Amino acid sequence: MFRVLGEVVYHVAFEMMTSHVELWDDLGYYITSHIETDFQRAVYVFQCLTMWLHEEFIDPIVEHLLPEINKRLNPPSDVLVDNSCWVLAFLGAFCAISQLVAMKDYAETVMEMADKMVDSVRELVERKLEVGFVRRAFRDFEIIVKKQMEWYRMNEYKLTKSLLHRLYVIKGMTMDSKMVLWRINVFVERGMADHVAA
């Protein structure tokens, strides 16, 4: 739905942030100002920013974004509900904690959000809503991890590996979903090995 917007934002943000021209405050303002009125668009733009984000850029965004993500990670009560909002909340949560895990001030926030992600997936699996929600989120999760790994250090690898393990052991999850997690884990382990060897 917002794919073209996301691609444009990513490429412009990447060029600006890697050249240290500026932090693109307008993008941060755009995301924070749309979180309540247009959550899906705001979190989609945020999860497209798969490069490492400067602390000054990420701080005001997560301050507004995480409470809304937390609310929307509550599993939908009806199978007929559009799954896009929950999927984007799951992906937005991961993108946020992967950016925050190396910052000591956010240690508790990272753990709480990871717990919420796992609990939400567990509830959807138990309620037999896995196919419509969880599997779609896992496929997009795989894409994001592969892109983010370009800047991962040990903190990010450990967080991702721990989250993958906690999701994988959820009882009742189908093999199709577990296979996606397994594939992600293979990439993460390979990246960790390369990181240690470097």
Domain that holds residue 160: 3-197
CA distance 57 to 97: 14
Alpha helices, H only, the chain: 3-18, 25-34, 39-48, 55-72, 84-100, 107-126, 135-148, 154-168, 175-197
Taking only the tens place, the pLDDT of each residue in 157-181 is 999 999 999 999 999 999 999 999 9
* Higher-pLDDT residue of 33, 98: 98
| Tens of pLDDT, residues 58-67 | 898 889 999 9
| Res 30: pLDDT | 79
Among 34-48, 57-71, 143-157, which is the least confidently predicted range? 34-48
Tokens of 162: 């721990």
Place of tokens 């309540």: 36
* Higher pLDDT among residues 163 and 36, named by residue: 163
- pLDDT at 9 (0 to 100): 58
Our count of domains for the chain comes to 1
Q: Is the pLDDT of residue 123 over 60?
A: yes
List pLDDT tens digits, range 80-119.
Answer: 567 889 999 999 999 999 999 999 999 999 999 999 999 9
Q: In this predicted structure, what is the pLDDT of residue 92?
A: 96
Q: Higher model confidence: residue 45 or residue 9?
A: 45
